[in-house]
Amino acid sequence: MSFLLKTAVRWSGKPLAQRLDAATAEPEVAQRSLLQQFLTRNANTCFGREHRFSQLQTEQDYRGAVPIRDYEGFRPYINRMVAGEDQILTDAPPLMFTLTSGTTGAPKYIPVTEASDRAGSDLMRQWLYRILNDHPQALDRSTLGIVSSAIEGYTAGGIPYGSLSGRIYQKIPAIVRRSYAVPYPVFELKDYQERYLAIARFALARQISFLSTPNPSTLLRLVAIASESQETIIRAIHDGTVGCQFPKQPELVKQLQKQLRPDRDRAKVLEKIATTTGKLLPKDCWPHLKLIGCWTGGSVGIQAQKLAASFGHVPIRDLGYLASEGRITLPVQDNTNAGILALHTNYYEFIPEAELESDAPTVLLSHQLEVGQRYGILLTTAAGLYRYDINDIVEVTGFYRRTPLIAFVRKGKDMANLTGEKMHVNHILLAMSQVQQQFALPVGVYRMVPNLEEMRYDLYLELTEGRSPTWLQDTILPAIDAALAQVNLEYAQKRLSRRLNPLCLYIMRSGWAEAECRQAIAQSQRDAQHKWKVLCSQPGLAEQGTVVTVLQNQREYF
């Protein structure tokens, strides 16, 4: 089986890798050609007619005709697509939408077309081809991929929305699917606790040589579930059962049960490990594990560094800089989040970090970038996003031939991102406004700070009137948590799956905010220019005796 799988990976991935390698010598040619393809293909769409695509001859023409937009600039067009209209952003209809958090509280529906789907799949095929060249034993045993449900619902126009990774997993060729340790229906379990338990049960029943999921916090959560439920898992593998009734989805359990048989030998091995070490750690259960595929950059890189304690010192290959809006890089080395700019997937423009707030910023192309410099990035995609500001900061770490190696650094202005939740300042403003109105909370000023070490958000709050700490802890903290989950669906998902821990509330002494402002002015900032930061990386004067009370949310869920 592994021979056939490796042959298939090499056969499909090699020509794609050769094509990219050839393009990296002349990136400007590849990018110019791709842009012209997008403009020609979509010239007769609503967006194409409005922006004169048929008349644009050069990249300078394109910049002059199409302004830079974020998602809110595209929302009116995408709303029409969601309703079922054709020929809005792309000539081809959307296959589906991926759903992610919007900065205004309303979710973002990112279109996926056949062309964008194929481009992403091609990039993953050559990623597998390249890892197989470097790690020839990675596909010798079973593989573990962890994804989300392919279909979570349907738009008013009848178009599915959900996870692109789930769709790829679901439609993977049979020769590859047979190597997967976890069958796709597991990812349709709606309860996060049940889903992780089922993933652990199926995965631990097999010998894994390669595992892949974007977020390393998912793997850390899997380790925790395996330790908490080791007796249940071992018994289920011994008896050939799913291991839990999953009462909300009994039909799905029956479907999974049909794929299982008792495996007393494997159960015996796991029981010996649990007895000897006290835990079912992957490094003991999967001695043939050769490679982990996950993100290693940005804030999640801290979580990736924690994997060695449970998985052993296994090489990690970053999956690349990717988002709902598109797949952007192809890493070709282990233990780095830098990757080759995917020249055939999207058209890229870059703005120097220092000019991101400028009304007329310098716009650069990929071959004009410099090593060590940071940039904002604009995407033009096969799915109909044109000069799209994804609000990310990237850094050039080197070059592959003449094409930059790009590493994701962080989200851009007004946004924090501990583990994929993409918390925008607007989410905080909306949530706090709801709670303030609901409970007549006498809010003075507040600040939200991402706490990477504890994997949670800390809220620093100055009240204009005193309130009972018990009431604040038992009522207000859970209410703020629930309000954040309501306005940011990815925050809700990360909290429900316990990849984000509960909020912590710091009640500040009266005068905290004023002292903060005075300090900023004393550091040569004009008082007229001083802006209070609702979301930032540091609490300010919290360490200087201004904290009155620290309250931890005691509710695991909202």
Q: What is the pTM of this model?
A: 0.86
| Rounded Cα–Cα distance for residues 439 and 442 (Å) | 9
Type of residue at 314: V
pLDDT at 525: 44
Q: Cα(192)–Cα(325) distance, rounded to whole angstroms? A: 25
Give the max Cα distance, the chain: 72
For the chain, 558 residues long, give each residue's pLDDT as a single digit of tens: 588 889 989 999 999 999 999 999 999 999 999 999 999 999 999 999 999 999 999 999 999 999 999 999 999 999 999 999 999 999 999 999 998 877 677 889 999 999 999 999 999 999 999 999 999 999 999 999 999 888 889 998 899 998 888 887 877 767 777 889 999 999 999 888 889 999 999 999 999 999 999 989 899 999 999 999 999 999 999 999 998 777 888 888 888 998 899 999 999 999 999 999 999 999 999 999 999 999 998 778 878 989 999 999 999 999 999 999 999 999 999 999 999 999 999 999 999 999 998 989 999 999 999 999 999 999 999 999 999 999 999 999 999 999 999 999 888 888 888 988 989 888 998 999 999 999 999 988 889 999 988 899 999 988 888 888 889 988 999 999 999 999 999 999 999 988 999 999 988 888 887 777 777 656 544 444 456 788 887 665 544 445 556 666 666 655
Q: What is the DSSP string of 33-55?
A: HHHHHHHHHTTTSHHHHHTTGGG
Give Cβ neighbours of residue 185 (< 8 Å, ≥ 6 apart). 252, 255, 256
Give the whole-angstrom CA distance, residue 396 versus residue 328: 13
Task: List beta partners, residue 411.
Answer: 392
Q: What are phi and psi of 428, to 5 degrees?
A: -70, -45
Neighbours of 29 (CB within 10 A): 12
String of DSSP letters for 288-330: T--EEE---STTHHHHHHTTHHHH-S--EE---SEETTEE-EE
Q: What is the DSSP string of 385-413?
A: --SEEEEEEEEEEEEETTEEEEEEEEE-T
326: left (phi over 0), alpha (psi -120 to 50) or beta: left
Q: Would you state the pLDDT for residue 528?
A: 43
pLDDT of residue 298: 79
Strand, coil or helix: what is 105?
coil
Angle separating helix axes 192-204 and 216-228, nearest 10 degrees? 80
Q: Which residues of 363-381 are buried (b: 16+ CB within 10 A; e: fewer)?
A: bbebeebeeeebbbbbbbb
Look at residues 127, 43, 79 and name the one whose alpha carbon lies nearest to residue 327.
127
Distance of CA 211 to the CA centre of its chain: 17
In which residue are the tokens 């006498």 written?
442
Q: For the chain, how big is the Rg over CA atoms in Å?
A: 25
Residue 231 φ then ψ, to 5°:
-65, -45
Residue 486 exposed, middle or buried by CB count within 10 Å (0-12, 13-18, 19+): middle
Q: How far separated are the first and last CA of the chain, in Å rounded?
A: 46
As a whole number of angstroms, the distance between CA 477 and CA 36 comes to: 52
Residue 434: C-alpha distances to residues 107, 427, 467 (Å):
18, 11, 18
Phi, psi of 15 (to 5 degrees): -65, -30
Under a CB-based contact definition with an 8 Å cutoff, are residues 323 and 389 in contact? Answer: no
278 φψ region: left (φ > 0), alpha (ψ -120 to 50), beta (else)? left
CA 292, chain centre distance (Å): 17
One-letter amino acid of 149: S
Amino acid at 176: V
